[in-house]
Structure 1
Amino acid sequence: MSNKIAIITGASRGLGKNTALHLARQGVDIIGTYHSREDDAQTVVAEIEVLGVKARMLQLDVGDSSRFETFAAQVSGLLSAYFKAERFDFLVNNAGVGMYASCAETTEAQFDQLMNVHLKGPFFLTQKLIPLIADGGRIVNISSGLARFSPIGYAAYASMKGAIEVWTRYLANELGPRGITVNAIAPGAIETDFGGGTVRDNQDVNAWVAANTAMGRAGVPDDIGAAIAMLLGDGGRWITAQRIEVSGGMFV
């Protein structure tokens, strides 16, 4: 029996890489995307292949929807030629960029970038890939705890994530007849290089996060990758249209 196949955007680092490695350990083959760091992407491929599964990386700018039809054709060709499959099973819309600015300071260019990467990108990329998703497959969209709590500086970013959560419910309803589940994972503050690595590298910020989190620490990538892998495992088959916050109890 052939392995399940997952597509993960932004898989060359951070949460995407961690998710890819968790799924690979569960015997899932990986198609990842990277924006510009091809060397990092190929390093991840090597790490995955050591785990005994297949992996390939494709370059993709999630903020450029004009390329999605070509990307879907690339995926179709790769499935046939390398994975010996017609369909893939899991889609994780993970790729993103961070931006800190108050409502008063946010520029239209910043807003448009966040819109393109975090909302328009996942929406239309998924649209193009839906014909290639196997019946009974699963989609996970990455939201943020910032869609629930509201510290100053994240209004535009969090607004896109709030929209992702609404879209997740609609998509789950549309794809339910095909047995495809759609959920949103909402991480809390995580120690990665996202947003300049502030949570990881700024000790004051890290301590503030820990003091406001029930589990007493900031999150790490392994917390999120493990949660996504769990949701894509057998135990997630009856979970759909949900926002699942993975924040260790931040601001409860």
Structure 2
Amino acid sequence: MSAHVRSGLKDKVALVTGGSRGIGRAIAERLGRDGAVVAVAFARDQAAADEVVETIGKDGGRAFAIQTELGRHGDAAALWSAFDSQIGQHLSRAGVDIIVNNAGIGRSADLATLTEEGFDEVFAVNVRAPFFIVQQGLKRLRDGGRIINISSGAARLAMPEIIAYGSTKGALDTFTLNLAKQLGPRGITVNSVAPGIVDTDVNAGWLRGNAEAQAHAASLAALGRIGQPEDIADIVAFLASDDARWVTGRVIDATGGAGL
């Protein structure tokens, strides 16, 4: 094993949805460095997913890409079918130890302009998909496993301009709470991680190259800077590790202290 790889998650299997870019990519790469075999789930960009797999491999880890577009009926079944068909190529045992529900639609319209179709889409990807990924993943998830849902600071801060998005993340946090209670007897921990503004491709259009927007975004955090994908990935890595075995049912604020 490469010297770059930590052994804390050796031979654990992690599924990361939305793992081909941004926060998801940082999470996948970090879990790979920590020793996990990582299933990098993606919707459309095969080249980006392959790049993540290659990066993890160069760091001494193991990973594979699975394509499933979320937000459609049957998406969870398709995702797990793709997972099942590949995991045997990397480990002699089936199953999963860590599920990271990261994929999501990042923004939505305000109350006045949001369409029914837009509402349905953001809830289908951000809420329904994680719900059924977990439902159908439970028979694969080993006792002592981890479920980590990527929420948002928008679930606790009033942001009317993205009201539906914030509502989906509130629903995801409620999902986390109930799962933690239900799965506790199996030693499975369930937590949410709630980022604030993070410098990713999703925010590039209004953030990158705009000094005024960057200064404003940084000013919202008590720590005085814009979040980076690695800031979130490191928190997820902690929650995935044995060090977080006594933490469950919590929303971990990862906004750098926004709105304090």
TM-score range, shorter chain: over 0.9
Contact 1:48/1:54, CA 8 A, preserved across alignment:
yes
Tell me which amino acid in the other structure corresponds to 1:77.
S
- Name 1:227's counterpart in structure 2: 235
- Name 1:172's counterpart in structure 2: 180
1:234 Cα deviation (Å)? 2.1
Gaps of 5+ in 2: 1-6
1:28 Cα deviation (Å)? 1.1
Matched ranges for 1:99-178 at <5 A: 99-178=107-186
Count of aligned pairs: 252
Matched ranges for 1:83-98 at <5 A: 83-98=91-106
Structure 1 residues 232 and 149 mapped into 2: Cα distance closer, same or farther (>3 Å)?
A: same
- Name 1:59's counterpart in structure 2: 67
Gaps of 5+ in 1: none
**Matched residues, percent identical?**
37
- Name 2:223's counterpart in structure 1: 215
Contact 1:192/1:199, CA 8 A, preserved across alignment:
no
Partners in 1 of 2:32 and 2:147 — Cα distance? 17
4+ aligned runs moved over 4 Å, structure 1: none
1:187 Cα deviation (Å)? 0.3
Partners in 2 of 1:65 and 1:51 — Cα distance? 36
Contact 2:67/2:82, CA 8 A, preserved across alignment:
no
Contact 1:193/1:200, CA 8 A, preserved across alignment:
no
Query: Which of 243, 247, 250 matches 1:242?
Result: 250
Q: Give the TM-score normalised by structure 1.
A: 0.95
Partners in 1 of 2:205 and 2:25 — Cα distance? 16
* Deviation by residue 1:35-76 (Cα, 9 ceiling, x = unmatched): 110011101110001121211000011212313223323322
Q: Give the TM-score normalised by structure 2.
A: 0.92
Partners in 2 of 1:48 and 1:3 — Cα distance? 14
Matched, 1:203 2:211: yes
- Name 1:27's counterpart in structure 2: 35
Contact 2:16/2:38, CA 8 A, preserved across alignment:
yes
Structure 1 residues 22 and 197 mapped into 2: Cα distance closer, same or farther (>3 Å)?
A: farther
* Deviation by residue 1:197-247 (Cα, 9 ceiling, x = unmatched): 433443322211211211001111111111111111221111000011101
Query: Which of 6, 14, 18 matches 2:14?
Result: 6
SS at match of 1:154: helix
Matched, 1:77 2:74: no
- Name 1:188's counterpart in structure 2: 196
Partners in 1 of 2:243 and 2:161 — Cα distance? 36
Partners in 2 of 1:120 and 1:167 — Cα distance? 10
